Structure 1
């Protein structure tokens, strides 16, 4: 990352990352912090988030951790207020947290569907709304959402609830981008393909993952850092004329030759 951007590319900027304690989220936190940003991890798993933040602080990076259950709008408001009041601005807000317990279609009940929609789809609404005054103070900024290829583009057994939420996320990105453009706030998303994370390990055994990696045109599973790089790009001045878009980062897996593998 440092070979692509100046070491202080995000110096003075305040970045909030939900679901930042591990996997893709932690890679995003690390990437922005290493480029000079003041980063807050928001995660329902506070001890894990605090440990991650401490590890990065030990490297001299500016990272803090706060607890937040993103299914609760009141906690989202408290989270954003805490970050905004501490720094008096917000430049980049990244909703990366997701909820997706693998569940057969017929077994998805109202409670599971409600929590999935709350964390994955409703939370970015509330984050954007509560962050807006602080982003105005910064003169604008970037709102980014980790979407998925599952839902907007492909299906996966046991993830109907997740797919519905992520399809909704892409609609939110476009609509919010249109309305917030006048505020100099760009809204974009990243659609990860198969990324090597602890969460992905729960969706299939090692042999299945190896088969998927072998079929990806670029010949490997994605790494969390691949998604972090896309987020940094979309938040950077290099993407100043990009809004309302979702960037697929999947190693080419959705190209026609391999589409049947993922559906």
Structure 2
């Protein structure tokens, strides 16, 4: 699939940081449990996200040829002050500026270590776009706030997730990913609220050789239908399958089987 332009990813990271900052400063309880990440508080989630941005900034800025341990990255775990929205917000804002500046300066083809077989800054621009897009959903759910994402970003996030699952199964097989093999099973994702030109439908096939996917409209063993944002969040296990606006048609057990086993590795 055609990816977004590098500058578009950089713009979106900056936009998502600003939107996450509005959650931090909304008056939400930073100690509240994040329903979709129940071992995390809202503050921990924000620190995790900001730390990831700072880690990627260090990788890209130094053109790292190997992973950089987090203990070598200043303020990777956030400010010393706990529970202070203003301090946390300032740290997050700085984290966002740092990584966007580094990615823009590097350009998409700069060689940089990554964990997924794409050793360039372009990988990290895309990865951080979707990392913060999904974690912002976690934050808004915890804070009880509305959530929206641009259709082209949501569609690319689904493409990337499927690419990662495919890559993990091919290069780092484990019990869960191996169980996704097998003939005659398929999943259809169908966004019902987008412009036809976006082609926001996906076919995921579970084959003997591994997971295969493509954009398109075809009959499948099970279909997940609904607004694109809801389909994205459900496929990332951020929304229950019985959420308002979502329909599961066909073998629901297969979709649940996939959601339990699809992984970053």
TM class by smaller structure: under 0.3
Larger Rg: 2
TM-score, normalized by length of structure 2? 0.24
